[in-house]
Structures are given as structure tokens and as C-alpha cells.
Structure 1
Amino acid sequence: MQFKKIIIGASLALSIGLLAACGTSSSTSSTKETSTKTTESSVDLNKLDLPQLSTDVSKDEYLVEMVTTEGSIKIKLFPKQAPKAVENFVKHAKDGYYKDTPFHRVIQDFMIQGGDPKGDGTGGESIWKKGFKTEDSNQLYNIRGALSMARASSRNSNGSQFFIVTNNEDVSDGLAIQYYPKKIIDAYKKGGAPSLDGDYTVFGQVIEGMDVVDKIAGGEVKANDSGEKSTPVDPVKVTEIKILQEPK
């Protein structure tokens, strides 16, 4: 069977060459108007709980430690907003599924992608042995440090792969208050990838170890078979994912 590589942003970019730019582009108004999550509604977005903006871990959240060959990253997970993605990730973590998996795809100023036991972007599966649906939440966004599910073109193709958003440039320009909470717009001033909102499941947020994430993102890369310069020369690997706290 021939596997298709899971490429983040494929639905948003016309070519691989545009992919890296989509993480830092400020021209996102058309995406905002068409994505499920950012459709204008009667909900007062500024009254929503926005758990990514706090480094505290609440009683209904997980705290995990992603141990890598470059150092440790602490991440809180949001089972209330993204139950399937969190259940899948936690079960895989407990089963050792991610042990020795590399960050196989790194695009500086955009994201780092991992979670594939094959190590090349073509592998991995969910705990249900089939793809599961993308979960939308108006409480979670692809701000800097967000942990999101990677998938193929279908919204039902989420498996085991994930990515962490690394862009640290201001991408708040053009984000409208009818589609975004003001605090999230402010968060995007510190970086992120708003063009991915509504298309990929955000299910966690880095709360410690972003310096490690940045080291991984800054590693030397070479071109892959498609010509995209994103394959690490010396890949950083996940050695273990520890569950430090479970919801009470």
C-alpha cells in the first residue's frame, strides 16, 4: 500500500513552496471567513474560557512531559475541548507508541512535526486503528506553542502525528474581533499560525520548555523528495512521554 505523507497546511497552500509562508502570513481574512471554528456567531468570544493562555494546569486537564534528546517539554492537554485527540495521544503515550520517534519534519518559523513511528511522515495510526475526525473548538487556537494534530487532506484522517507551532512573529494583523477573542488576537502578536485555525485539532499547549522546541526548530534541515526543505539532518527524537497529572 502506498501511504500519503501527512502534510500540514496542504489544504491552505497551492504548492509546497507556499507552505512555510502560511505559518507567518498575515493575509488570513479569507481563511477566517470559511473555517468552521471562526464563523461569526452569537457567542460572545471574549467571555469564553481560553485555557491556552494560562500556565496553570486545572483539575480537568492533563499535564505531560515530552522527553526528547534535546531536553524536556511540558505540555498541558485539553480533554474537555478535544476529547478524541487527547484520549488518542495519552493512550499512545502510556503504551510507549512514541518512544524513539523523531521530529521528522521541521519548518523554522512555522512548526515541528512528529509522532510517526516510521519516521518519514507516511506512518502512524490512531488507537482505534483508523482515522478520526478533526475537533473544532472556539476556545483553542494555533498560537505559538500550540500542540495540534497533523493529518492528511481529509478531516477524518487524524492518526498519531502531531505538530507544535513555533513561529514567534506577529501574525495578528487582519484578525477580526468577530472571529477571534481579543486575548487570542493579542496572543497572536507573539506568534502562531492562525491560517491553520479551524482545519487542525488543537489539543494542547506548551507551558514549559519552549526553548527546547525552538532548538528543535532551529536544527539543520535538507530538502525532502518533494523539494521541501524540512527534513532534519540530525533528527531530534522523543524518548518518552510521561503523564504527570490526570484530570480529577
Structure 2
Amino acid sequence: MGFIQFEKPAQGEEIAIMTTNHGTLKIRLFEEQAPKTVENFKTHVKNGYYNGLIFHRIIKDFMLQGGDPTGTGMGGESIWGKAFPDEFSEEVLNFRGALSMANSGPNTNGSQFFIVQKDSVEEQMLGQLKGASFPDEAVEAYKEHGGTPWLDFRHSVFGQVFEGMDIVDAIANVKTGVQDKPVEDVVIKKLEIVAYEG
């Protein structure tokens, strides 16, 4: 069994299209594995909440973080107006390309998310995963795809970029300043939910 994360969406499945000032990403959403998280994200998207926001924190060989209306990393809230619980599944992990919730500790999800950009996992880390009785299949997938396994079961994975990882890599290479904030704004011009047409 391979991870569903690396499968293309089915015809007609609802996906997210993120248009940035660097290019466009297509994201598959994992409604079954993270129903509340996906509901929160989709509702925000449909309400235009994310349009015009910046990626306020970018760390090359790690991740891009956005979804905060204040652009500081301190703001944003869920569609319910309060933090909501984490949703973890062994079926979706923080592989390269994962769309995950940013948080400030357990069960503190609001509107902020990040996209995992790291394209490799060090041998030592892979060894630790095996030692921690991580499933062999997950270790193999991390070896093949890269990612951030230390974030698993700490940050809810609810989507996967399946088109546009070259754009994610380009964004990861922008010049950043204080607190990993890009010197020139990286903007989410538009986020929309559409039916996948293949």
C-alpha cells in the first residue's frame, strides 16, 4: 500500500488552487483523514479569507508558512472563532509537499498553515524513525520524497501539493530578513476550491 498523499485526486474531487505572485499550486485535500481541518480551510477559502495574505515565514529546506491576516505569525482564527483540535492520521504525514496546520501547541489550530518544502531526510533521522518503530513504509517514503517527520502527530496534515512544487522551491529561495520574513512579499493572490478535471 502506497500513501494516498502521492496519488492524484479523482476526477471531480474538490481541490484547492493557490495562485501566488510566484506561480500556481494545486493541492489535494484529505477530507477523510482531517475532516474538521479541511472544513475550516475550505470555508475560509470560499469566504476569501486567504486572498491577498502573505507567506510571513519562509525557511529554505524546511517550509513556507502563511494564512495569518496580520502577516505577523501571531494572528488568524478558525471559522468557529476559537482554536480547534488536532487531527492526526497515519495515512497522511509531513512528507515534502504536505499542507499542514501551524499551531502554538496541542489543539491550538486557527487559520495558519505551512507547506513542507524539505526534499530529503538525513540518514540519522531515518535511523531514529526506525528505532522509534515508525512503520517501514513511512520510513521508505520519507527516504524517497523527503519531509519533516519530527512534525508528525504534532501538526495536522490535511493536504498535499500535487502540482507546482517547483513554485514551492522557488518561493523557498526568496531572500528573507528578520524572523524569516521575506524581504519582498510573497502573496497568496487567490485561493479557490474547484473540482479536479485531470
TM (norm. structure 2) is 0.90
* Superposition misfits of 4+ residues, deviation over 6 angstroms: none
After superposition, the Cα gap between the structure-2 partners of 1:198 and 1:235, relative to the gap in structure 1 and judged at 3 Å, is same
Query: Which has the larger helix fraction?
Result: 2
Distance in 1 (CA, whole Å) between partners of 2:130 and 2:157 is: 20
Distance in 2 (CA, whole Å) between partners of 1:132 and 1:236 is: 27
Contact 1:61–1:79 (8 Å) recurs in 2: no
**Which residue of structure 1 lines up, in the alignment, with residue 173 of structure 2?**
218
Q: What's the offset of the Cα at 1:177?
A: 8.1
Equivalent position SS for 1:212: helix
- Matches for 1:134-213 after TM superposition, within 5 Å: 134-153=86-105, 155-171=106-122, 172-176=126-130, 179-189=133-143, 190-213=145-168
RCO (CA 8 Å, sep 6+): is it higher in 1 or 2? 2
Q: What's the offset of the Cα at 1:175?
A: 1.9
Equivalent position SS for 2:129: coil
Gaps of 5+ in 2: none
Equivalent position SS for 2:169: helix
Distance in 2 (CA, whole Å) between partners of 1:211 and 1:201 is: 23
Task: Please say which of residues 134-143 and 168-177 is displaced more in the overlay.
Answer: 168-177
Distance in 1 (CA, whole Å) between partners of 2:4 and 2:85 is: 22
Q: What's the offset of the Cα at 1:176?
A: 1.8
Q: What's the offset of the Cα at 1:58?
A: 3.1
Gaps of 5+ in 1: 1-46, 225-229
Percent identity between the two aligned chains: 47
Q: Does 1:97 align with 2:52?
A: no
**Which residue of structure 2 lines up, in the alignment, with residue 245 of structure 1?**
195
TM (norm. structure 1) is 0.73
RMSD, matched Cα: 1.8
C-alpha distance after superposition, 1:118-138 (max 9, x if no partner): 111111000000000011111
Contact 1:131–1:158 (8 Å) recurs in 2: yes
Contact 1:61–1:78 (8 Å) recurs in 2: no
What is the one-letter code of the residue matched to 1:180?
F
Query: In terms of Rg, which structure is larger?
Result: 1
